[in-house]
């Protein structure tokens, strides 16, 4: 067992596969000698060389398009966009090519590409560099979407994403990059499996990414009042672990869905709808969603913190269903 930061775990996952499979390559803006905008690929250029760790032009359409072409012709590319917001520029290549080619070619090709997307607010990076756009890509058939919260999950899901023969969109919350955690396994974690990170019997908080930690803080506070909150970390947004969701609802009969993404049209609505459609008979209270405000992410630090859901918002939601 070792202790790693989330950032180091991402790097380790990529490096493990690059050491054993020469077809795994990494490219993106400044991922080479500079080591990536957030330092995730630091040292990889020196270890694997310029042929396998490549800097790209400032063109997200070119980056995603290159990943599609590379995957279709035998490589296993990892493409990094500097911020998930910039996916807007590469959306055609991802949605109309990567997500559909394997289906349209009758399975005669594979599309083993990983698209890494640093996401989330809290860094003072303003409206064009702080969004959480996971709802966009989970809507698209043909894409797998993961959003780890811990170093262990970051490493294990990165291995699984690289191994997968389908395109995997890999969200990395920027505020989690420095989070430390124990890593006791360097094996893939199956995509599509969530986990219970805290057991409870009174209410379920279903969440992912940074909000796992906010939810755990609320659970700790409520435990002092005798309220036992179960916290479920989805980890994988598609495929989604519906069995785990059903199990936690059957146990607590109450659900609070927590995401950082803007609440309107967000992924929390999809989870809420699944619970209402498939597990309604298990509910003893209305489902409550907690999400970001329906506004662009502010630059002002005070307003940015007001935009981001926090422990007080989660606490209020939990109390409302209790």
Residues marked active site are found at 129
What the block records as the tokens of 97 is 């090519």
65 phi, psi to nearest 5 deg: -65, -40
Per the rule left: phi > 0, alpha: psi between -120 and 50, beta: everything else, 158 is: alpha
Contact 291, 259 (CB under 8 A): yes
Distances (CA, A) of 240 to 74, 95, 104, 190, 208: 28, 19, 24, 11, 12
Contact 221, 190 (CB under 8 A): no
- DSSP for residue 105: T
With the C-alpha atoms ordered 286, 289, 293, 294, is the resulting torsion angle positive or negative?
negative
Contact 138, 234 (CB under 8 A): no
Distances (CA, A) of 112 to 58, 78, 162, 264: 23, 9, 7, 32
Q: Which residue has the tokens 């979407």?
A: 145
Q: For residue 154, give the nearest of 11, 3, 43, 2 by alpha carbon.
A: 11
175: three-class secondary structure by DSSP: helix
């Amino acid at each position: 067992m070792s202790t790693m930061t989330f950032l180091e775990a991402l790097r380790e996952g990529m490096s493990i596969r690059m050491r054993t499979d020469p077809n795994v390559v990494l490219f993106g803006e400044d991922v080479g000698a500079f080591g990536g905008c957030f330092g995730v690929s630091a040292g990889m250029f020196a270890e694997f060389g310029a042929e396998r760790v490549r800097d790209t032009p400032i063109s997200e359409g070119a980056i995603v398009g290159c990943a599609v072409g590379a995957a279709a012709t035998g490589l296993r590319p990892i493409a990094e966009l500097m911020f998930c917001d910039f996916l807007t520029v590469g959306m055609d290549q991802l949605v109309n090519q990567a997500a559909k080619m394997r289906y349209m070619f009758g399975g005669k090709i594979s599309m083993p590409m990983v698209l890494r997307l640093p996401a989330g607010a809290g860094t003072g990076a303003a409206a064009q560099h702080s969004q959480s756009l996971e709802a966009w890509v989970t809507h698209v058939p043909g894409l797998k979407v993961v959003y780890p919260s811990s170093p262990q999950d970051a490493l294990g899901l990165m291995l699984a994403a690289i191994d997968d023969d389908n395109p995997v969109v890999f969200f990395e919350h920027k505020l989690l990059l420095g989070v430390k955690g124990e890593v006791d396994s360097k094996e893939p974690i199956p995509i599509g499996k969530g986990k219970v990170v805290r057991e409870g019997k009174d209410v379920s908080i279903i969440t992912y990414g940074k909000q796992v930690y906010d939810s755990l803080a609320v659970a700790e506070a409520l435990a002092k009042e005798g309220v036992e909150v179960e916290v479920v970390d989805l980890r994988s947004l598609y495929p989604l672990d519906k069995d785990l969701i059903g199990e936690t609802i059957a146990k607590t009969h109450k659900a609070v869905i927590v995401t950082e993404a803007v609440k309107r049209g967000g992924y929390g609505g999809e989870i809420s709808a699944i619970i209402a459609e498939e597990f309604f008979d298990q509910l003893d209270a209305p489902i409550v969603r907690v999400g970001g405000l329906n506004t662009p992410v502010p630059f002002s630090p005070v307003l940015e913190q007001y935009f981001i859901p926090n422990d007080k918002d989660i606490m209020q939601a939990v109390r409302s269903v209790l």
